[in-house]
């Protein structure tokens, strides 16, 4: 049932955000990076566009950082945007179907103390297929795109187009951060499609690596799981130590956090 009443949307968003906080407090998060940084970086030092699949939208709530998330202008988007705001995430409204051009301009003009975040297969799919909006944003803004793959050791999946994931209590969210991708300016249609495929391939590679790592942890066969360091920006995320021989992301190369 879709909520249309503004008061009900506000109430549902508040309750959903409180539930998400309590729920995610039971969930651990681990991550490793291909570019030698702990992400999200301090936006005063380096700003990025973080790209992750729509199904993984709960994962960023585990990380407290300055970020603006692009949310669709639909009624469902209104609920999601209010939940994000309660969780401390900034939002910009727009999508590939409604308000996309205005949203891109607003994202490009954002203050310089925030990262940007997009789900490039949203708001309605197809699942895990990148759309061109993120290519245009990166090309116009000059900000690198960071592909973020998310895996879950245990999660419930909705029967929705994106198979939205809800991590089970006391499970682990896995993040694999790929190399930042620079998108050239002044792209023609062929160039936009080439960059779209490049971003999609990088996101699929990072997602595959995260899901493999999650499966290893779930099976109890992840030797690197006990050798982690905490990221300075958040006490909820543990980063893979570089001193283990296993600190290699399949398909992404060696890690040097």
Token pair listed for 217:
């942890």
Question: Pseudo-torsion of CA 39, 93, 52, 111, nearest 10°?
Answer: -20
Consecutive H or E run containing 230 = strand 228-230
Q: Write down the pTM of the prediction.
A: 0.80
Q: Indicate the pLDDT class of residue 8, thresholds 50, 70 and 90.
A: confident
Main-chain dihedrals φ then ψ at residue 81, nearest 5 degrees: -65, -40
Q: For residue 55, give the 3-state DSSP assignment.
A: helix
Task: Measure Cα distances from 206 to 16, 79, 108, 252, 257 in Å.
Answer: 29, 29, 26, 7, 16
Mean residue pLDDT of the chain comes to 79
How far apart are the C-alpha atoms of 43 and 45, rounded to whole Å? 5
Query: What is the 8-class DSSP label of residue 241?
Result: P
> How many other CB atoms are there within 10 angstroms of residue 19's CB atom?
11
Lowest mean pLDDT among 22-31, 102-111, 127-136: 102-111
pLDDT of residue 144: 96
Query: pLDDT of 38-96, one tens digit each?
Result: 888 888 888 899 999 999 988 877 766 667 777 777 666 778 888 888 877 777 776 54
Query: pLDDT of 220-239, one tens digit each?
Result: 865 454 444 333 334 456 76
Q: Residue 212 above 90 pLDDT?
A: yes
> How many other CB atoms are there within 10 angstroms of residue 206's CB atom?
28
């Amino acid at each position: 049932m879709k909520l249309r009443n503004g008061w009900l949307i506000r109430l549902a968003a508040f309750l959903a955000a409180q539930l998400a906080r309590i729920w995610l407090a039971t969930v651990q998060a681990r991550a490793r990076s291909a570019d030698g940084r702990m992400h999200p970086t301090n936006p005063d030092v380096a700003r990025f566009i973080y790209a992750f699949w729509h199904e993984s939208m709960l994962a960023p709530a585990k990380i407290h950082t300055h970020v603006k998330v692009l949310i669709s202008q639909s009624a469902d988007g209104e609920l999601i945007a209010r939940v994000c705001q309660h969780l401390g995430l900034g939002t910009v409204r727009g999508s590939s179907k409604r308000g996309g051009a205005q949203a891109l301009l607003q994202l490009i003009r954002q203050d310089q103390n925030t990262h940007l975040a997009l789900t490039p297969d949203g708001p309605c799919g197809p699942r895990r297929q990148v759309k061109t909006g993120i290519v245009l944003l990166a090309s116009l803004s000059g900000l690198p795109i960071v592909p973020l793959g998310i895996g879950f050791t245990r999660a419930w999946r909705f029967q929705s187009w994106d198979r939205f994931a809800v991590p089970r209590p006391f499970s682990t969210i896995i993040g694999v951060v790929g190399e930042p991708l620079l998108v050239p300016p002044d792209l023609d249609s062929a160039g936009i499609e080439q960059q779209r495929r490049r971003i999609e391939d990088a996101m699929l590679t990072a997602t595959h690596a995260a899901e493999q790592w999650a499966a290893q942890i779930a099976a109890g066969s992840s030797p690197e799981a006990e050798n982690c360091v905490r990221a300075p920006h958040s006490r909820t995320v543990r980063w893979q130590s570089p001193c283990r021989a296993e600190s290699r992301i399949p398909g992404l190369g060696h890690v040097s956090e």
